[in-house]
Structure 1
């Protein structure tokens, strides 16, 4: 089979592009279907001058579904979901799919060339979920950058220079009273998850995947799913066991007594690995019980504080209760500024006047 002309390699099979220059110097482009007539002789069937319409007509002749126009944002989103998102972490994939779902509502049928900084700013202002809008614009920006690499557009990224909504980092801190109130109502597997999360300072998803096989030569090996950062948590220092080591030894002993075979440290009462939903259900149940108890005791302020407590607040609690440099390294941050700005949720220690 003869190799397709380089001028037509971006077109579907048997579609031809004809480019002619008129007497006035104007360039004329038209598309044809390289078909056959009734006698079997080669015949070029006109498809028109509009590429998208030509592809629709080509699909009819080929008896195929018409391809999506590649000058629309829908094509960019489809290809981004198919080629780019699968290479990201599981959590990021989930977030990106939600973000694209929102972006499609506004930009699905819009031509790529029609997206301007003004349009992006209007989208930002129209979204009621301001923080989510920032994430969606960030994804739109990356999708536009990739679209430029794919050759779908050569215009500047319209997201560059567009202000983002101001974000205020979550500043909730679970003090000892709140912690104890919820902890006392928690099932044993939730208590184990809380203790492991606090002692390691890791994200909920990373806590749930820690296994006995991660114990190696006096260290607990951690692989962070979000950043792919690898850590080794020391279990002993100068022959003295850490609190984490004591907790793990106690947990392994209880698992052995109960006949738990799963290597994952955090399991349910049946010995099965704890899923995110299992954790969420147990957390909500314990939090509701603790809040109801506080309300019954007449402490409405405590009840309100308990209801604000989320499992993800354990990580910043851990970061807030140890020295900054230690906290930054434990959390796997590249700079102490990130730890200080987002995860340190208690103030500086000072003395009273008297």
Structure 2
């Protein structure tokens, strides 16, 4: 059943001095007054025609959300992340109607139900907020309680991988050969080029110009008119050139398109790479190759920190340099001059 400006078929909105009232026109009958609360009016009609079912529930809204233009604008990684968030969220709220969820319900979910994963819970509530927002647009809820609840505190990561440990980790992976060596070289690339994983997992050889000594990659996380239009032109330094030489040796097939190919000759998927990285990190910890775990995204911070140490400036990673400094610069030493 399709909605028209948040109303069901045969519903009518009438402007009054005190606001808008609603009524329903049954077939062959007199109009039925529904009051001035649109959400209540829609429920009354659904009850009358006997098709309310799961309309307005979080489970139904999740299905509908994936059909919206907003969902289609999301990057593939964002859609994957929201899909993962939905798994736990639907365990608690699938049959709950958006209009019945209140701020204390959100607080209990954040503080108690998901106390073991507070940061992930924040992402799940962000999805819930989007779903309730959709319900408001459809006339199935009146307010969004997610906006009334403070999120769990998130502590930003403050450490970058130690250069000596990262070097040992890279050498260890290189010695293993095969796909483990490829993942190790992907880590090296992130550390010396500073790109996000989503930006270079599908890096193709035509994007690398050895004559001009540059790599051209689309910058991720751009919004509005800049989406997909900002191109990063990365200088091929001696360290990066040596890495590309090693990757070129692994290019057994001349027509192989991707630089970081999986065992089937295709680009790694984000989920496939993430799973492989996690296994290798566990193995490296067990064999005491490294003393502490670091995330793949920490390698971006490694790049920024080393760039500042070696070149004296922060690299251009964001439109706002303060963002690069706040999130990725993990240098513990601050140099300043005395009088």
TM-score, reference length from structure 2? 0.72
Q: Which residue of 2 aligns with 1:321?
A: 306
Distance 1:143 1:328, change over 3 A: farther
**Counterpart mapping for 1:174-323 below 5 A:** 174-186=161-173, 187=177, 188-215=181-208, 218-227=213-222, 228=227, 230-235=230-235, 243-248=239-244, 250-251=245-246, 253-255=248-250, 258-268=252-262, 271-276=265-270, 279-280=273-274, 283-284=277-278, 286-288=280-282, 290-294=284-288, 303-305=290-292, 308-323=293-308
Among 45, 48, 55, which residue is 1:51 paired with? 45
Q: Look up the SS of the partner of 1:184 in the other structure.
A: helix
Greater shift in the superposed pair: 277-286 or 142-151: 277-286
8 Å CA contact retained: 1:185, 1:286 = no
Aligned residues of 1:171 and 1:345 also touching (Cα < 8 A): yes
Residue of structure 2 aligned with 1:105, choices 56, 72, 91? 91
Relative to structure 1, is the Cα distance of residues 207 and 161 closer, same or farther in structure 2, using a 3 angstrom cutoff? same
SS at match of 2:307: coil
1:120 corresponds to 2:106: yes
Cα distance per residue 1:258-312 (max 9 Å; x no partner): 3342221112466443444654565456545544443xxxxxxx7542xx13333
Question: Runs (4+) of structure 1 moved beyond 6 Å?
Answer: 6-9
Larger Rg: 1
Whole-angstrom CA distance in 2 between matches of 1:347 and 1:53: 63
Aligned equivalent of 2:63, options 78, 82, 87: 78
| Structure 2: runs of 5 or more not aligned | 14-20, 35-43
Change (3 A) 1:276 1:157: closer
Change in Cα spacing, 1:80 to 1:275, as seen in structure 2 (3 Å) is: closer
RMSD between superposed Cα atoms in Å = 3.9
**SS at structure 1 position matched to 2:333:** coil
Structure 1: gaps (5+ residues): 1-5, 20-26, 35-42, 57-65, 295-301
Contact kept, 8 Å, 1:81 with 1:97, in 2: the verdict is no
- Secondary structure at the counterpart of residue 66 of structure 2: helix
Contact 1:91 1:226 in 2 (8 A): no
Residue 245 of structure 1: how far off its partner (Å): 4.2
Alpha-carbon spacing, 1:191–1:277, altered in 2? closer, same or farther (3 Å): same
CA separation in 2, counterparts of 1:17 and 1:270?
56
CA contact (8 A) 1:52 1:69 kept: no
Task: Report how far residue 321 of structure 1 moved.
Answer: 1.0
Q: In structure 2, do the counterparts of structure 1 residues 164 and 261 end up closer, same or farther at CA, with 3 Å as the change threshold?
A: same
1:158 pairs with 2:145 = yes
Per the alignment, do residues 334 and 251 of structure 1 end up closer, same or farther by CA in structure 2, a change over 3 Å counting?
Answer: same
Asked if the contact 1:182–1:287 (Cα under 8 Å) also holds between the matched residues in 2, the reply is: no
**Alpha-carbon distance change, 261 to 277 in structure 1, aligned in 2, over 3 angstroms:** farther
State the secondary structure of the residue aligned to 1:191. Answer: helix
Q: Which residue does 2:320 correspond to in 1? A: 335
